[in-house]
Structure 1
Amino acid sequence: MMTTQPGSGERRVLSVERLSIDISHEHDTQRVVDDLNFALYAGRTLCIAGESGSGKSLSSLAIMGLLPKMARLPSGAILYGERDLLELPERAMQRLRGREIAMIFQEPMTSLNPLMTVGQQLEETIRRHKLAEGGQATQRAREMLDAVRVPHVEQRLKQHPHELSGGMRQRVMIAMAMVCRPKVLIADEPTTALDVTIQAQILELMRELQREFETALLMITHDMGVVAEMADDVVVMNQGIVEESATARAVFTAPQSAYTRKLLAAVPRLGTAPSRLPVHGTDVTRLEVNGLRVRFPVKRRSPFEVRREVCAVEDVNFTLGAGETLGIVGESGCGKSTTGKALMNMLDFSGSVRLDGRELNGMRGSELKAVRCDIQMIFQDPFAALNARKSVGELVGEPLLVHGLGDADERQRRVAELLEQVGLPAEVALRYPHQFSGGQRQRICIARALALNPKVIIADEPVSALDVSVQAQVLELLESLQREYGLSYVFISHDMAVIEQICHRVAVMYCGQIVEMGSCQQVLHNPQHPYTQRLLSAVPMPDVDQKRDFATLLHVTEVPDPIKPRGHQMPTLRYAESQAGHFVAMA
């Protein structure tokens, strides 16, 4: 196994030596981290990479002294200077935690107090560590939000976490972590749920803060593009064991471990997909969307306030052929998922959506129930989409039961067939969702979507939360099902490499409207619209020789406000056809 070789002049800040972690469940004890060793140096970034269940996050929680009660440390030391953190009393750890060793957690919404404003939470941290009091604490909070490039600071200080976007919440988390100027910053999957441009901004922001404060950065991620972009040194973990430890260049150019090679091979890379994917279907148009518009009313704060509404989707038009996959890409809030829900008739919309010539707008009751046999949806979060109280057999067979198809024995046989189609043994029908991994749960959701033999499937970010190897398996499954049954997909994603791998055409959405549409080759390799170019410039590449310059993206550009007076007429976009089938919105 290779070891990292930092420069001789670099100062070691923290080291983990022969750390092992056991988790006890009743009478069973499982080793989840075994003999972990690494060191953090001032101004350098160490990435711990690996798939879910590899022990990455538990290792970081051990450093912070935040392991769950069922965890036990049979061996090892965590040295911060001359002190072993594992031997420090809790009061001493509380003084260190946040002030000298800080952590950015994976999900900012669950880490921030929903009852306190952003300003109150920042000031609480400042006062707790006795950095300032009163007006000085408020001023320091204001300066820290400025440092992490949060716009309209005065307004943000008064807002609660739910009033901020995912990217803004993550900036607030970074501000809270950096307010004490810690010597060690641990970032646990800090960009997993973020769009590519927001991810790029957060990564560049962490780089800037690291340069300014000489912070040692420990980053935990399963995104190898982020590893290539950020890491000086890399530790690759698999099921609690270190597979490889080396410099980032060594890991990406000459990986020694078979597991590292497999992990890198599974990463979808922009520009490596075939220039033209075969269409497994006929020339039939399955779905026609014309003038699709979705608006949500905004609650008035007073009876005298002008009625307003959110213009979520405006004048969206596209067609989808049999056996074709259309990708819809864009940042959070651009209207991707709302478009998908409108196609499913899950919310009110205006305009026309025709499935095999049948108009879906206005369908209700038994008529809508009948058409649902032909159009189904795979949701982003498989755990939230599955009823935890029902067995897998009940969940997959539920569409058959709702539509009155077959008797109990026939439904049981069909469930077994569906599970085997998605690569799961029939006997898992007796188990419950919590007993499966994320990838397996997504397979169960796909099996349920296939139960009624649909013609169109709306896939809303179906692989965004999955590890790269599991992601590759799910994408391969979707492609094989398309080949076999001629399925049509509307594939919603913010991952450009995944879009290129599975889609025939792609539509780019911005502020509720499609600004560019064409084949993957046209849009992803010859983007014409400035927004598409900006999206593609933010995609991190899993290659240490292709690092992106994210500095230009760090300055937040104000997105047009989608809240308009009721009945507001949005300007109709006009399109230029730069090549056959390649449409670009004109300014």
Structure 2
Amino acid sequence: MTAETSRPLLSVEHLSIEFGNRRVVNDLSFALHSGKTLCIAGESGSGKSLTSLAIMGLLPKIARVPSGTLLFEGRDLLALPERQMQQLRGKEIGMIFQEPMTSLNPLMMVGQQLEETVRRHEPVSRRQARQRAKEMLDAVRVPHVDKRLVQYPHELSGGMRQRVMIAMAMVCRPRVLIADEPTTALDVTIQAQILELMRELQREFDTTLLMITHDMGVVAEMADEVVVMNQGVMEEHAPVRDLFNAPQAAYTQKLLAAVPVLGTAPKPESRAAQPVVLEVTDLTVRFPLRSGWFEEARNVHAVENVSFSLRQGETLGIVGESGCGKSTTGKALMSMLAYDGSVKLLGRELNGLKGEALKPVRQDIQMIFQDPYASLNPRKTILDLVGEPLLIHGQTDFSQRKARVAQLLEQVGLPGEAMERYPHMFSGGQRQRICIARALALNPKVIIADESVSALDVSVQAQVLDLLERLQEEYQLSYVFISHDMAVVERICHRVAVMFCGQIVEIGQRDQVLGNPQHPYTRRLLSAVPMPDVDHRRDFKALLKEIETPDPIKPRGYEASVQNYRAVDLDHLVAV
């Protein structure tokens, strides 16, 4: 190899970043070689995203760079004036940001945003820019391109918005593409499609990829080299195969050990002999759409004739992509929205109960929400928040309530004195523990956990799952565990129900559904799970073909045909 070919395209040398007196990135060095993929992996707060923002010249004004150089083709990016960085940003180095909805202008059509990017960097006409935008949307497999060009970001799904973000980052064909957590908020199949698209674009345009992620499955699928960061420090830098087969740093070993791997969870004990605590029959949820003077009245059929049972001490996983009706089902079970059908808790019918009649039922069924920060009032202390259910249900004695809150916090692994603090003073994992403590306050029989670990780092996720399993064992709790993460579902669930377009298409024991999937949609979900195994990289090309989904919007009065099931095995049903 000659000196010329071995010279890195981008090199980060001894980079440090500070906010006030706090050093958030410390003496970081790595090199990015042409045509290769380098992944920066680590948990929240490790300094991954700040490193990428430093390369793009987009660090917040309060940040300071006391040392380091960022060399791109011999130029130090930190020394370049802003005007030169503006010319380089987008044309030579592109970036896909973590949250597409906040990165796209909501007041501009998709076509306008793509054209603006082209015309900013290249002397082309409006017509040529429009043609380049169409070609790039074609390259990222956006269907119905002409229609998408005149749509606004809010009119697109999460996966489509992320494709538009990739198209915008690639439209000037940059030498380096930085992808900051490009698949974090996406469903497993959409994530697989985005990863496959990035592979294809890298091959087609010879792009060098710097990927930032906390998902070790994504690292194994995509990386040539890996930098592992922790608290602003590089723990390990190695080729991907060496890192997975023989990790050197204790932190890397811990990170890899915490990753749930599909197909490795031990067989759960059957709960078939336990009494049924929740019986759901023909649950149907429809949302009326507003209609104008001459429009036909229509409904969104969000959930259609869903039936299942839940036994004492059992966890039923409900899996599927965004929009399949998982969370709507959870809210209906909590009587948070109107529904048709029957929901029986401990033999008592819940449909139709309101106000005071519903209040005693709420003691037996509680919910843990997806976003722990949004579900905790920032103006209240933890004592007020965790003690609130006790106050609502009649425990007015302050000293007893305080003692119970301290006991609940200790049950979820937090010190009793934490009750004096406010939600913003805790990490994401600690806030989720506080939400679990609040859900346990009234000694419920059933807990609905709606994507309760999806926003957490992998090691924190493992701790919360351990906690949920321990609490289930101690108190014989029953969980409805709503998730799109198949490896997490395998880890914690006894039975699994797969939802597609508002209906259950497959349900059975965990090993029956995940080990012997019968429905094409279940197989599609499982084939999209990235595996943290460099020797078995997945081919996601088949997933780029969109599957046909029925339109959930129907005329008022429309009745769906009853879903029929075939028994594959005892307790294993699949839609036909």
TM-score, structure 2 normalization: 0.98
Cα distance change, pair 277–74 in 1 and its aligned pair in 2 (3 A)? farther
Q: Are 1:538 and 2:528 an aligned pair?
A: yes
Mapped partners of 1:54, 1:85: distance in 2 = 22
The one-character-per-residue Cα deviations of 1:213-246 (angstroms, maximum 9, x if unpaired) are 1111000001000000000000001111111101
Q: Is the 8 A contact 1:282 1:322 kept in 2?
A: no
Once the two structures are overlaid, the 10-residue window that deviates more, 401-410 or 57-66, is: 401-410
Determine which of 105, 110, 114 is the counterpart of 2:102.
Answer: 110
- Asked if 1:273 is matched to 2:269, the reply is no
Q: Does 1:17 align with 2:13?
A: yes
The separation in 1 between residues aligned to 2:571 and 2:363, in whole angstroms, is 31
Q: Does 1:83 align with 2:79?
A: no
In structure 2, the CA distance between the partners of 1:360 and 1:6, relative to structure 1 (3 Å rule), is farther
**Corresponding residue to 1:224 among 211, 216, 219:** 216
Contact 1:252/1:544, CA 8 A, preserved across alignment? yes
Post-superposition CA distance 1:347-375 (Å, at most 9, x none): 11101111011111111101112211111
For the 8 Å contact 1:149–1:555, the answer to whether it is kept is: no
* Aligned position for 1:296: 287
Q: Which among 280, 283, 286 is matched to residue 277 of structure 2?
A: 286
Secondary structure in 2 aligned to 1:310? strand
Matched, 1:430 2:426: no
Correspondence list, 1:473-484, <5 A: 473-484=463-474
What secondary structure, in the 3-state scheme, does the structure 2 residue paired with 1:395 have? Answer: helix
Partner of 2:369: 379
Matched, 1:245 2:241: no
Contact in 2 for aligned 1:252/1:543 (Cα 8 Å): yes
Instruction: State whether structure 2 residue 126 is matched by structure 1 residue 164.
Output: no
Secondary structure of 1:518's partner? strand
Distance 2:520 2:123 in 1: 44
The farther-off stretch of 7-16 and 214-223 is: 7-16
Post-superposition Cα deviations, 1:98-151, rounded to whole Å, max 9, x if no partner, equal 111111111111111122221222122122223533222222222211111111
- The one-letter code matched in structure 2 to 1:290 is T
* CA distance in structure 1 between the partners assigned to 2:3 and 2:298 by the alignment: 59
> Residue 496 in 1 paired to residue 519 in 2?
no
Q: Does 1:174 align with 2:163?
A: no
Partner SS, residue 190 of structure 1:
coil
CA distance in 2, matches of 1:7, 1:369: 74
Compute the displacement of 1:561 (Å).
1.4
**Of 538-547 and 563-572, the range deviating more from structure 2:** 563-572
The CA distance in 1 between the partners of 2:280 and 2:405, in whole Å, is 33
Which residues of 2 match residues 46-445 of structure 1 at below 5 A?
46-130=38-122, 132-277=124-269, 279=271, 283-300=274-291, 302-445=292-435
Moved more, 79-88 or 382-391: 382-391
Segment of structure 1 superposing worse, 106-115 or 196-205: 106-115
**What is the one-letter code of the residue matched to 2:314?**
E
> Helix, strand or coil: the match of 2:173?
coil
Amino acid at match of 1:164: L
Instruction: Letter of the 2:367 partner, please give it.
Output: M
Which deviations, in whole Å up to 9, do the C-alpha atoms of 1:277-309 show, x marking residues without a partner?
A: 354x97211100000001111222x31111111
Matched-pair contact (CA < 8 Å) for 1:58–1:67: yes
| Alignment partners' CA distance in 1, 2:498 and 2:2 | 43
Kindly report which structure 2 residues correspond to 1:546-561, keeping only aligned pairs within 5 A, or say none.
546-561=536-551
The gaps in structure 1 that reach 5 residues or longer are none
Amino acid at match of 1:215: T
Q: Distance in 1 between matches of 2:2 and 2:105?
A: 39
Contact 1:55 1:240 in 2 (8 A): yes
Checking the alignment, whether the CA contact within 8 Å between 1:282 and 1:323 is kept in structure 2 is: no
Unaligned runs of at least 5 residues, structure 2: none
Give, in angstroms, the shift of residue 157 of structure 1: 1.6
Count of aligned pairs: 576
Q: What's the C-alpha RMSD, in Å, of the aligned pairs? A: 1.5
Amino acid at match of 2:284: R
Output one character per residue of 1:499-558: Cα deviation in whole Å (capped at 9) or x when no partner.
Answer: 011000000000000000011100001101110011100000000011100011112233
Paired with 1:572 and 1:43, the residues of 2 have a C-alpha distance of 53
Helix, strand or coil at the partner of 2:301: strand
Query: Partner amino acid for 1:20?
Result: S
Q: Does 1:574 align with 2:564?
A: yes
Residue 507 (structure 1) aligned with residue 503 (structure 2)? no
Q: Displaced runs of 4+ in structure 1, greater than 4 A?
A: 5-11
Q: CA separation in 2, counterparts of 1:6 and 1:435?
A: 53
CA distance in 2, matches of 1:550, 1:67: 35
CA distance in 2, matches of 1:6, 1:399: 69
2:67 is paired with a residue whose SS is: strand
TM-score by length of 1: 0.96
